Chains A and B, each alone.
Chain A
Amino acid sequence: MEPVTRIINWNVASWMTVLLYGGTSIAVGLSVLRLASRVRVWRAGLPEHVRPRWSDAMAKLVRWTSGRGKMAHDRFAAVMHGLILWGFFILFVGTTLVFLEEQTPLHFFYGVFYIVASCVIDVGGAAFLLGLTMAVYRRGVVRKPRLQSSAMANGLLALLIAIGVSGFVLEASRIAVDLPPFERASIVGYPLALLLRALGLSRATLQTLHQSLWTGHAVLSMALFALATSFLFRHVVVSALAVALAPRRSSGSLRPYPLLAATTVGTGRAVDLRWRDLLEADACTTCGRCTSVCPATAAEKALDPRGIVLGLQGLIDASAAASNTVSVPTALEKLTPQALWDCTTCGACNAACPVDIQVFDKIIDLRRQMVDLGAISPAARVALEGVDTRQNPWSHPPAQRNSWRESLTLPVLDVTHGSHTRKPEWIYWVGCAGALEPTAQSISRATAALFKAAGLDFAVLASEGCTGDPARRLGDEALFQSCRRRNQELLHATGVRKIVTHCPHCFNTFKNEYPDSDQAGETNGSGLEFEVVHHTQLIKQLLDQKKLTMRSKHTGSATKVTFHDPCYLGRHNGEYDAPRTVLDSVPGLVRVEMPRHREHSLCCGGGGGQMWLESAGAKRVEGLRLLEASTTGANVVATGCPFCKVMLETAGATAGKQHEIHVRDISEVVLDALDVP
Chain B
Amino acid sequence: MNIAVCLKEVLDTRLPFPFPQPAAAVRSDQAVPIRLTNLADRAALEFAFHIKARVSQVGSQRDVNVDSIAAVSVCTADEEGALVYALARGVDHVQRIAPWSQPTAPVSTAMALARRFASGEFDLVCCGDETMDNASAVVGPLLAELLGWAQVTSVCEVRELSRERCVLVRKLERGHREVVEVDMPVVITFVADAIQPRYVSRRLLDRARQASIPVLSMPLSSPEHQHAVAGALPFWPSVEKLLVPRARVKKRFAPDANLSAGDRVKAIMAGGSHTQTSASSILEGDAGYLVEQLYRFLKHHEFVQSTREQTP
Which residues of A come within 8 Å of B, CB atoms? 257, 259-260, 263, 265, 371-372, 374-376, 378, 380-381, 384-385, 388-391, 397-399, 401, 414, 416-417, 419, 462-463, 465, 471, 475-479, 482
Contact = CB atoms under 8 A, between A and B. Distances in A.
A263 B207 contact: yes
Contacts of B34: 389-390, 398
Contacts of B204: 265, 372
A534 to B, nearest CB: 25
17 contacts: A372-B201, A374-B89, A374-B201, A381-B199, A390-B15, A391-B29, A398-B15, A399-B15, A401-B29, A416-B27, A416-B28, A419-B25, A462-B27, A462-B29, A471-B202, A476-B201, A478-B205
A482 B199 CA distance: 17
A371 B201 contact: yes
B200 A374 contact: yes
B202 A388 contact: yes
B237 to A, nearest CB: 30
A471 B205 CA distance: 15
Contacts of B202: 388, 471, 476, 478-479, 482
A654 B86 CA distance: 42
B58 to A, nearest CB: 23
Contacts of A389: 12, 34, 36
A260 B203 contact: yes
A462 B26 CA distance: 11
A476 B34 CA distance: 20
Given A263-B207, A378-B196, A398 B201 contact: no
A374 B36 CA distance: 18
Interface string B172-214: 0000000000000000000000001111111111110000000
Interface string B64-86: 00000000000000000000000
A478 B36 CA distance: 18
Nearest to A369: B201
A478 B207 CA distance: 10
Interface of B is mostly: loop
Contacts of A372: 201, 203-204
For chain B, give the interface size range.
Answer: 20 to 34
A417 B27 contact: yes
A471 to B, nearest CB: 8
Contacts of B199: 371, 374, 376, 380-381, 384-385
Interface hub of B15, B27, B89, B199 (most chain A Cβ within 10 A): B199
B103 interface: no
B29 A463 contact: yes
Interface of B: 12, 15-16, 18, 25, 27-30, 34, 36, 89, 196-207
A460 to B, nearest CB: 13
Nearest to B35: A389
A482 B206 CA distance: 10
B203 A417 contact: no
A381 B196 contact: yes
In order of increasing CB-CB distance, the 7 nearest A-B pairs are A374-B198, A478-B202, A478-B203, A479-B202, A381-B199, A463-B29, A416-B28
B18 to A, nearest CB: 7
Contacts of A471: 202
A462 B29 CA distance: 9
A579 B126 CA distance: 58
Given A462-B29, A465-B29, A471-B202, 7 more contacts: A257-B203, A381-B199, A384-B199, A398-B15, A476-B202, A478-B203, A478-B205
A381 B16 CA distance: 22
Contacts of A476: 201-203
B85 to A, nearest CB: 11
A417 B29 contact: no
Contacts of B30: 398-399
B29 A398 contact: yes
A365 to B, nearest CB: 13
Contacts of B198: 374-375
Contacts of B196: 378, 381
B201 A397 contact: no
A434 B185 CA distance: 53
A479 B201 contact: yes
A414 B201 contact: no
A263 to B, nearest CB: 7
Contacts of A391: 29
